[in-house]
Amino acid sequence: MKTRINEIFASIQGEGPVVGYKQLFIRFCGCNLNCEYCDTEFTNGEEFTPQELTQKITSEYDLKSFHSISLTGGEPLLSVEFLKEFLPLIKGKTKIYLETNATLTNNLLEVKDYIDIISADIKLESATGLNTFDKHENFLQNCQNIETFAKIVFDEKITKEEISQCCNIAQKTGIELVLQPKMIGDKMSVTADFCNEILEKFTQKYPNCRLIPQVHKFLDVR
Ligand code: SF4
């Protein structure tokens, strides 16, 4: 069983509640979505078996010095057959942090026991051009017993209905919401006033919300 890995690199997590921690990023190739704002290159890569990837990261990095390994993409859960072999090989070496578009629930269930933290997206149709709310709700209902937050990338097109739908999902699942303004280069695509206004609208319906911009863009790291 081989999978294609786009890149492996050490950096600082720039999104969500574990912002600022050092992570080893493993970027998987391929994605099942096609978001309008996607700027991630995840098509090219090198093939690894689970054993080869384990050998590479354990020989080249001191895994204990990292807060966690970030499985990112693309969509890492597309490589679920690979993960079923790979994750047991690195179990206990450091925490496993999954960055996912939160649409592949059945794949999550196959590897859930090996995941410590989930960064799950709730995609807004106004920002991505896709309607995936039902899939996110189903996914988040299956994240019990794992530290999970949902990241919502928004821009000036966010609607009242979307805010209500996000808060409904959060109320049903009890997860924290992280509002992330869409970036254009290293600048926010919306004003600070607009961010405050959106945070206010969310917290009126669901108080467990935070606004965290992409800090790695300010730090100028990957
Ligand atoms: S889910 Fe993420 S990687 Fe996939 S298309 Fe959307 S932004 Fe890009």
Q: What's the CATH number where 176 sits?
A: 3.20.20.70
Crossing angle between the packed helical segments 133-141 and 160-173, to the nearest 10 degrees: 20
196 touches ligand 1 (CB under 6 Å): no
> Is residue 86 pLDDT above 90, yes or no?
yes
Q: Say yes or no to pLDDT of 51 above 90.
A: yes
The confidence score (pLDDT) of residue 24 equals 98
Please tell me the predicted confidence (pLDDT) of residue 216. Answer: 80
- Check pLDDT > 80 for residue 105: yes
**Tell me: the pLDDT tens digits for 112-162?**
999 999 999 999 999 888 899 999 999 999 998 999 999 999 999 999 999
Handedness of CA 183, 188, 189, 194 (dihedral sign): positive
- Whether the pLDDT of residue 38 is over 90: the answer is no
Answer whether 192 contacts ligand 1 (Cβ < 6 A): no
The tally of domains found in the chain comes to 1
Index of the ligand 1 atom closest to the CA of residue 32: 4
Is 17's pLDDT higher than 90?
Answer: yes
Identify whether the C-beta of residue 111 lies closer than 8 Å to the C-beta of residue 86: no
Domain holding 181, by residue range, is 3-219
The yes-or-no verdict on residue 185 having pLDDT over 90 is: no
114, with CB counted inside 10 A (0-12, 13-18, 19+), is middle
Q: What is the pLDDT of residue 176?
A: 97
* pLDDT of residue 166 exceeding 90: yes
8 Å CB contact between 57 and 8: yes
74 lines ligand 1 (CB under 6 A): yes
Q: How far is CA 16 from CA 23, 58, 68, 121, 176, in A?
A: 13, 26, 14, 11, 10
Q: Is 40 in the pocket of ligand 1 (CB under 6 A)?
A: yes
Indicate whether residue 73 lines ligand 1 (CB < 6 A): yes
Q: How confident is the prediction for the chain on average, in pLDDT?
A: 95
Exposed e or buried b per residue across 40-73, where buried means at least 16 C-beta atoms within 10 angstroms of its C-beta: eebeebeebebeebbeebeeebebeebbbbbbbb
The one-letter amino acid at 154? F
- For the segment 18-28, the average pLDDT, to the nearest whole number, is 97
Burial 160-175 (b: 16+ CB within 10 A, else e): eebbebbbebbeebeb
Model confidence at 26, in pLDDT bands (50, 70, 90)?
Answer: very high
Residue 197 tokens, joined:
């206004």
Q: What is the pLDDT of residue 182?
A: 92
Q: At a CB cut-off of 8 Å and minimum separation 6, what does 9 contact? A: 24, 25, 222
Give Cα separations from 205 to 136, 151, 174 (angstroms).
Answer: 19, 17, 13
Separation of CA 88 and ligand 1 centre (Å): 26
98/18 Cα distance (integer angstroms): 12
Tokens found for residue 176: 């924290």
